[in-house]
């Protein structure tokens, strides 16, 4: 998504959140005082996703060879990897910074511009740090949970962090508008394709909105408090399974609106 559109949507989401009436105290979730507005945005995002992003992602997966999909994902991960290194330094993670520098150099050269990932094969594992996580490491609180139009789940801290991520993204400085827009669109489809396999768990949850919220908050808490590790994917899968069990509809219950 073009950077200007992303930032405009971010600003719109924050303005809506700040002007939204809170739910009655008895219905509030501790970190989701804007639940009524968030649920409305979630419904909009879900309809938009099912109409636009899901069909595009499924079509992309169907017609694109697996090795090409992997190469595209690797390319974008490598293109955006300088952001990880900046956040390594901001978080005082100097040993990972050295490792991540080696990873970027190896994948950019031997990996043909990042299309391949020889760094992982030699033990230089991928890290995933962002400005929202850095703010958390600095002691900034999450603020309320926030669903941003089009962009999805966030919180106030991570919404601010997204601005830093956007302006720190090397793609942001490409002067050719068509290349910038094309890369942004391909990145959006690539990201949505990676998440297709999780859609079944979301759709089968008792309350998909609460399910997504739980997964997001647990994932971000883990990143801030536990950092990244080689076992992160297994940890996230475990959280996904546990949250799915928690959100299963009790027998005889009716589903809430979402």
**Buried b / exposed e across 164-195, counting CB within 10 Å, b at 16+?**
bbbebbebeebeeeeebeebbeebbbbebbee
Helix 81-90 crosses helix 94-109 at what angle (to 10 degrees)? 170
Confidence of residue 232 (pLDDT cuts 50, 70, 90): low
Whether 23 shows a pLDDT value over 50: the answer reads no
Over residues 53-66, mean pLDDT: 98
CB 141 within 8 A of CB 113: no
Whether 6 shows a pLDDT value over 50: the answer reads no
Residue 226 vs residue 209, higher pLDDT: 209
CA 57 from chain centre, in angstroms, equals 16
- In tens, the pLDDT along 165-224 reads 998 988 888 888 899 899 999 999 999 999 999 999 999 999 999 999 999 999 999 999
Mean pLDDT over each residue of the chain, to the nearest integer? 84
Confidence of residue 242 (pLDDT cuts 50, 70, 90): low
Per-residue pLDDT, 226: 72
Task: Give CB contacts under 8 A, 24+ apart, made by 117-122.
Answer: 117/74
Confidence of residue 29 (pLDDT cuts 50, 70, 90): confident
Confidence of residue 13 (pLDDT cuts 50, 70, 90): very low
- In tens, the pLDDT along 129-141 reads 999 999 999 999 9
Over residues 63-76, mean pLDDT: 97
CA distances from 109 to 105, 112, 123 (A): 6, 5, 17
């Amino acid at each position: 998504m073009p950077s200007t559109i992303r930032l405009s949507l971010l600003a719109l989401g924050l303005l809506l959140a700040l002007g939204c009436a809170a739910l009655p105290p008895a219905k509030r979730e501790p970190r989701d005082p804007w639940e009524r507005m968030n649920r409305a945005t979630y419904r909009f995002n879900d309809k938009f996703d099912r109409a636009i992003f899901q069909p595009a992602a499924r079509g992309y997966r169907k017609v694109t060879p697996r090795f090409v999909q992997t190469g595209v994902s690797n390319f974008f991960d490598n293109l955006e990897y300088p952001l990880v290194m900046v956040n390594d330094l901001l978080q005082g993670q100097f040993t990972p910074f050295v490792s991540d520098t080696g990873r970027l150099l190896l994948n950019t050269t031997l990996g043909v511009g990042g299309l391949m990932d020889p760094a992982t094969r030699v033990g230089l594992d991928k890290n995933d740090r962002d400005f929202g996580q850095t703010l958390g490491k600095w002691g900034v609180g999450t603020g309320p949970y926030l669903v941003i139009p089009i962009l999805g789940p966030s919180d106030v801290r991570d919404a601010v962090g997204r601005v830093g991520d956007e302006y720190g993204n090397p793609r942001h400085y490409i002067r050719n508008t068509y290349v910038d827009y094309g890369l942004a669109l391909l990145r959006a489809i690539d990201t949505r394709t990676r998440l297709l396999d999780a859609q079944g768990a979301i759709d089968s949850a008792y309350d998909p909105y609460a399910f997504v919220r739980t997964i997001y908050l647990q994932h971000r808490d883990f990143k801030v408090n536990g950092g990244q590790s080689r076992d992160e994917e297994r940890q996230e899968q475990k959280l996904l399974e546990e949250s799915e069990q928690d959100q299963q509809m009790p027998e005889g219950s009716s589903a809430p609106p979402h």
